[in-house]
A = this chain, B = another copy of it.
Amino acid sequence: MATVQDIRPRLLMGPGPSDVHPRVLAAMAHPCVGHLDGQFLAILNDIRAMLQQVFITGNPLTLAVSGTGSAGMETCVVNLIEPGDRMLVCIAGVFGQRMKDVAERAGARVATVEAPWGQVVAAGQVEQAIRRDGPFKVVGIVHAETSTGAAQPIEPISRVVHEAGSLLLVDTVTSLGGMAVDVDGWGIDACCSGTQKCLSCPPGLAPVTFSPPAEQVIASRRTKVQSWYLDMNMVRQYWGSERLYHHTAPISMCYALHEALRIVLEEGLQARWARHARVHERLKTALADLGITYLADPEHQLPMLNAVRAPAGIDEAAVRRRLLDEHDIEIGGGLGAFKGKAWRIGLMGESATDRHVDALIAAMGAILA
């Protein structure tokens, strides 16, 4: 049996996880203390305060769910939705579809608006859906659709949603820390993210934040949240001043997130977003030189997730295998409708550097030559 120590490091340029800073790895390896130890509770307080800065929100109900990004999305849905509630889900890729599935499992009566893969949803479509099928308790949308590389504008949708009196749920798993996400400025009521993308922390926690109106909705539910584990009415009593035991917090992952958030804030959000944008441009130019084109609408491309067409006649999986085996570089394949046809190149957090781009382009050039 191989040991973990035998694992060869890679340059992580897929859809996540991204490279992790050695400071974060070192923090994670610090000895565990108890989940009710004052030293650890101080770490949780710091995490909440730093997440508020990164989400750009004053929401008191801001914390890291003890699961990966998908658990964060499920947390938002199951806490806001009660059986029979109406929810509108915007779908333009795999993660919008996933939100619909999660909502239906929570007992929501779901309507959808859809955009072609690679495109974004227009505010007018949402407005129309609300007029036609509304009102909805919650409207859900993905900010950074990891399956297509498209960046969904949130503000115009938010206006329409709030005019109709609905709550806005936004999945920022891939965008948070790598481009503008402004929870309060954009009027987001429930926002979920993941740690392993632009925050460059290992996967395992899901930052979430709820606006005061959303928190009120959760506090005044008629029925219990269907998930005991993800029930914010209980989890918040552990993260809050009550410190009531709910479940044992994942200590080491919280250590890692604490250090990762410190690094994010040391760089500064604006500088970090600018770095992601700049490195994205470098990649885009270099890919164009190789004749490789993007799948997402040119006006709505994510900086941190570059979904591109695999050139015709190329076995895309074989290229990815050679990148991994011969160059220790990981990129992702296509998901869903793009399976077998696309590459997804991540430039996230510690992986958003010139040297990552240059190493990948040199390796791809050699393989495709």
Give A residues with C-beta under 8 Å from B. Answer: 1-5, 7-10, 12, 14, 16-17, 19-20, 25-35, 37, 39-40, 42-43, 46, 66-71, 74, 98, 101-102, 104-106, 194, 196, 202-204, 224-229, 245-253, 255-256, 258-259, 262, 324, 330, 335
- Of B7, B17, B228, the contact of A30 (CB 8 Å cutoff): B7
Task: State which of B31, B104, B194 has its C-beta within 8 Å of the C-beta of A248.
Answer: B194
A201 to chain B minimum Cβ distance, whole angstroms, is 9
Residue contact A251 to B34, C-beta cutoff 8 Å: no
Contact residue among B4, B33, B253 (Cβ-Cβ distance under 8 Å from A7): B33
Q: Are B252 and A202 in contact (CB under 8 A)?
A: yes
How many copies the complex holds: the figure is: 2
A125 shortest CB reach to chain B, Å: 25
Q: How far is the CA of A248 from the CA of B262 in the complex (A)?
A: 23
Q: Give chain B nearest CB distance to A300 CB in angstroms.
A: 24
In the complex, what distance in Å separates the CA atom of A335 from the CA atom of B14?
45
Q: Is B248's CB under 8 angstroms from A4's CB? A: no
The answer to whether B330 touches A37 (Cβ under 8 A) is yes
- Kindly name the residue among A33, A42, A43, A258 whose own CB sees the greatest number of chain B CB atoms within 10 A: A33
**B25 contacts A29, CB within 8 Å?**
yes
- Determine whether the beta carbon of A204 is less than 8 Å from that of B68: no
Contact of B228 with A101 in the complex, beta carbons under 8 Å: yes
User: In the complex, what residue of chain B is closest to A196 when comparing beta carbons?
Assistant: B248
Q: Report chain B residues within 8 Å CB of A7.
A: 30-31, 33, 39-40, 43
Neighbouring B residues of A14 by C-beta, 8 Å: 34
